[in-house]
Amino acid sequence: MGSTVAASLLLLLSAVPAVFAVTFKVGDISGWTAGMDYTAWVTGKTFRVGDTLEFQYGSSHAVSVVDKAGYDSCDSSGATQSFSDGDTKIDLTTVGTMHFICPIFGHCPGGMKLAVTVLAAASSPSTPSSPPSPPSPSSSPPSPPLSPKSPPKTGSPPPKTGSPPPSASPPAGTPESDLLTPPPSSPSATPESEPSTPPPPPNAASKGIMSYGMIGATIVLMYGVMT
């Protein structure tokens, strides 16, 4: 976690100069050429670390980075860097004065020399922090504290849950015989008499037995008459 935060801060700090960095085209529309007064060109300009100098020139010119002595004597023999690509971009990385000349013979004495004073990178403007917003009032007032429950009276046991209430004592003056005599019971409701169920009809077997009996009796009577 700590390494991630440190890396993020370094990335932010490195990005700050890039946000305010400026690319200066040396000589503006004229570019890097002979017959130009570059001492007048730098007047009124501020160069800082992170800015870039862009030299645009033809094939007959070049750019050499020299020290103060080489700048004054137009001597490029001690140059630390030399370019001849026609579009040279040099980043300003250190605070101090940088010196540039054209190494082609006769061009530096003709005015193709440049001294740039580099200042420290501009710091990012600090953003004023907004004051903290006051806490919003509560929408509902706080509820009053609950009153403590009154303690039970001394000597009276708490009522048991689910126990039946005590029976009421008989009124004064009631004879003892009345107390012992149970109250008359109310006549129970007599259920309505159900309708009688008719006897089941004789089945087929009983009918057959009766028919055979009648036939037998008839035969016996006829036999007695004939004899």
String of DSSP letters for 171-220: PTT--HHHHHSPPPPPPPPPPPPPPPPPPPPP-HHHHHHHHHHHHHHHHH
* pLDDT tens digit sequence for 51-75: 999 999 999 999 999 999 999 999 9
Contact 107, 72 (CB under 8 A): no
Contact 37, 111 (CB under 8 A): yes
- pLDDT of 95 above 80: yes
At 118, phi and psi to the nearest 5?
Answer: -100, 130
What gap in Å lies between CA 68 and CA 77, rounded to an integer?
A: 13
CATH topology of domain 21-119: Immunoglobulin-like (2.60.40)
Contact 42, 24 (CB under 8 A): no
DSSP letter assigned to residue 158: P
* pLDDT tens digit sequence for 8-37: 555 544 544 445 789 999 999 999 999 899
Written as six digits, the tokens of 107 are: 């061009």
Return the percentage of the chain with pLDDT > 70, whole number.
50
Give this prediction's pTM.
Answer: 0.49
Contact 39, 15 (CB under 8 A): no
Task: Identify the three-state secondary structure at position 221.
Answer: helix
What gap in Å lies between CA 86 and CA 63, rounded to an integer?
A: 9
Task: Identify the three-state secondary structure at position 98.
Answer: strand
Helical spans, DSSP H, in 2-126: 2-20, 38-41, 68-73
Q: Which residue has the tokens 């001492």?
A: 39
pLDDT of residue 179: 46
- pLDDT of 183 above 90: no
- pLDDT of 101 above 70: yes
Q: Which residue has the tokens 């750019």?
A: 63
Q: Which residue has the tokens 């710091």?
A: 123
- pLDDT of 167 above 90: no
What gap in Å lies between CA 81 and CA 55, rounded to an integer?
A: 14
